Structure 1
Amino acid sequence: MASKKSSKTAAAMKEDANSSDSVSQGNVNAILAAIGSQGDELKKLIEDKMTALSGRLDVLDATLVNLQSEQTGVKQKIVEIEGALNGTDSRLGEVGKVCDDLRAENKSLWAKLNDLEGRSRRLNLKFVGIMEGEERERRSVFISDLITELFGRDNFPKPVKIDRAHWALLPKPPEGQRPRTIIARIHNDRDKDLILRLSREKFPLEYKGKRIYIFPDYTPEVAALRRAFSSVMKVLRVAGLK
């Protein structure tokens, strides 16, 4: 009896094992089928991505080709610009040399012009402080008479010859304002030198109660140089040196 029961139990266990193996094999087959299905989908997805990536790479290749072409054009333009700059530098050097030559020539011409202007003013005297209208019509006659009145006939027994006289080239000032300067050209340089010496010796000079001054007619450049030298001239005068 016990032997029969044991045999039955062993047979049942074998059947259960066979049934379990059958279920496990079914699960494995299902899993493999699912994996195969997912693999196909994954393969299709990879193929689609590769196709898209290939298209993008083609576009990138075309872009790179265009960039290389543009870079070649830029390099060519840079070469052309460098050549133009080298030519410009050369021309600028030539222009600089011409400017240096012109500057030296201008300096020489300016010195000559200043010398000529100074010589043209050499016999001029400036009369400062004479009221507008005092000269009436003939300024040259007025200046000649004024010199005789200021310094006396002992120094000028004959009227001083005045080549010409005119007001400074400025607008006529309003009444009561500082009058313009009269510039007179003395015919004889000895008379001019004597007038300047006497104006220093008889300083201050007055005409109709008004203080007047007589100065040489220097060019602006010479006047600036004299102003720069004025402190030295003061020391020399104090020392009694000429």
Structure 2
Amino acid sequence: MSGGTTTKGKNKKQPENPSKMTKQTLSVEATGELAREASLDSISLQIRTLTAEIKTELQANKEEITTEMRKELSEFKRDINKLLDNMDKEIKEQTERIQDGETRTEELEQWSYDANKAIQHMLQQQKYMEDKLEDFEARARRNNLRVYGIKESKEAKPSELKDMIEGWLKKELGLEDDLQIQRVNRAQAPKPREGQTPRSIIIQFQQSKTKDMILYKAWEKKKMTFEGEGVYFDHDYTAKVLQQRKAYLPIKKKLKSMKIRFQTPYTKMRIFWEDGMKIYNNAEEAARDLKTRGCEVEGFQMAEEGIHKDKETNVKGLASWKQVGDIGTMKDRVRERLQEYELRRKKTDGGEETRGSIAQEK
């Protein structure tokens, strides 16, 4: 044991000098502080260097971006100005066209007004001439008598027709006096084929009273024949009168089926109803009255007079046209429409106008 205790005592260090240890500690701390300061200075230098580089790059980028933006804005402004110039040019052209259109419209309106008056006058003159011509033709036919039903093979030659008809009339009606027939001829129409309805024969008398006397005797006799075949007489009507009388055919057919007495003097119709006689001026009027009496006329077409009334209505429609307002009023209407068009165009092109205004402000 004594040996072990002796060894331990020998290995135990003796305590150092305290003042020496303090100096060493201070020296180490001072060295560490200097190292930290040097490290901080290096980092600060690196930061300043990096900051300077970033500032340089930012300045270069700023100048590049500014230059590029200015270039793009300049191009954009140039495009906008060009577009505005084109729009101004187009608006100017449209304004000129509208002004030209106003002038042409004024001229056309005046021309239409004058033309309508001229057409109205011409239509009135035409109707007047048609009426005069109709009256002249009716007077020229006043001495004529038409005979229907004589076959065309009965006369050997056209020159023999007059003698044949005059001898037949005297024999059939028991006349002895001279009939004063001036001319006898077939109606001016293509010769029908065998078996078809023959053309009527027109007899022209010197005096209308002779024609009326023969026509009255023929109607009084009721049944006239030529070589055993039935014939009938009638006035020599104009084409217009024939058309008006033809419109009565469906009505005549209906009245005959109902066994109602009627007469057709010239262009009118006389019907003898149970409540009294009534005269109708045209077929349409007669058909309308029959319908109110419960007699529907089948296959009826509007009479020529009714068609003529429609034409007169159309003519009156043309005649009722008149110039609306004066030229100044028409200009105001055109100007208002132009302003409405401009407003619609601005609403449609609102985006383009917004961009243009921004470019101008910049």
Query: Aligned residue for 1:234?
Result: 271
Q: Where do 5+ consecutive residues of structure 1 fail to align? A: none
Aligned-pair distance for 1:224? 4.3
Out of 174, 178, 184, the residue aligned to residue 165 of structure 1 is 184
| Separation of aligned partners in 2, 1:55 and 1:92 | 53
Aligned-pair distance for 1:14? 6.0
* 1:125–1:185 contact (8 Å) kept in structure 2: yes
Q: Deviation digits for residues 137-174 of structure 1, max 9, x if unmatched?
A: 222222212212332x2xx1134222112211111111
| Separation of aligned partners in 2, 1:204 and 1:35 | 134
Aligned-pair distance for 1:116? 0.6
Query: Aligned residue for 2:218?
Result: 199
Determine if the alignment matches structure 1 residue 135 to structure 2 residue 155: yes
Aligned-pair distance for 1:78? 1.6
Out of 218, 231, 238, the residue aligned to residue 219 of structure 1 is 238
Aligned-pair distance for 1:7? 6.2
Q: Where do 5+ consecutive residues of structure 2 fail to align? A: 1-20, 249-262, 280-362
Query: Across the two proteins, how many residue pairs are aligned to each other?
Result: 238
Bigger mean CA offset, 36-45 vs 198-207: 36-45
Determine if the alignment matches structure 1 residue 150 to structure 2 residue 169: no
Identity of aligned residues (%): 24
**TM-score (normalizing by structure 2):** 0.57
- RMSD value, Cα: 3.0
* 2:270–2:277 contact (8 Å) kept in structure 1: no
Instruction: Assess, with a 3 A threshold, how the Cα gap between structure 1 residues 14 and 203 changes in structure 2: closer, same or farther.
Output: farther
Instruction: Assess, with a 3 A threshold, how the Cα gap between structure 1 residues 19 and 196 changes in structure 2: closer, same or farther.
Output: same
Residue type at the aligned position of 1:145: G
Aligned-pair distance for 1:215? 0.7
| Separation of aligned partners in 1, 2:277 and 2:44 | 140
Matches within 5 A, 1:72-221: 72-137=92-157, 138-151=160-173, 153=174, 156-221=175-240
**TM-score (normalizing by structure 1):** 0.82
Aligned with 1:114: secondary structure? helix
Instruction: Assess, with a 3 A threshold, how the Cα gap between structure 1 residues 209 and 27 changes in structure 2: closer, same or farther.
Output: farther
Instruction: Assess, with a 3 A threshold, how the Cα gap between structure 1 residues 17 and 145 changes in structure 2: closer, same or farther.
Output: farther
Residue type at the aligned position of 2:223: P
Instruction: Assess, with a 3 A threshold, how the Cα gap between structure 1 residues 3 and 146 changes in structure 2: closer, same or farther.
Output: farther
Aligned-pair distance for 1:96? 1.5
Query: Aligned residue for 1:30?
Result: 50
Bigger mean CA offset, 11-20 vs 117-126: 11-20
Aligned-pair distance for 1:40? 0.9
Bigger mean CA offset, 57-66 vs 121-130: 57-66
Aligned-pair distance for 1:187? 2.0
| Separation of aligned partners in 2, 1:18 and 1:98 | 116
Determine if the alignment matches structure 1 residue 41 to structure 2 residue 61: yes
Bigger mean CA offset, 164-173 vs 43-52: 43-52
Aligned with 2:270: secondary structure? helix
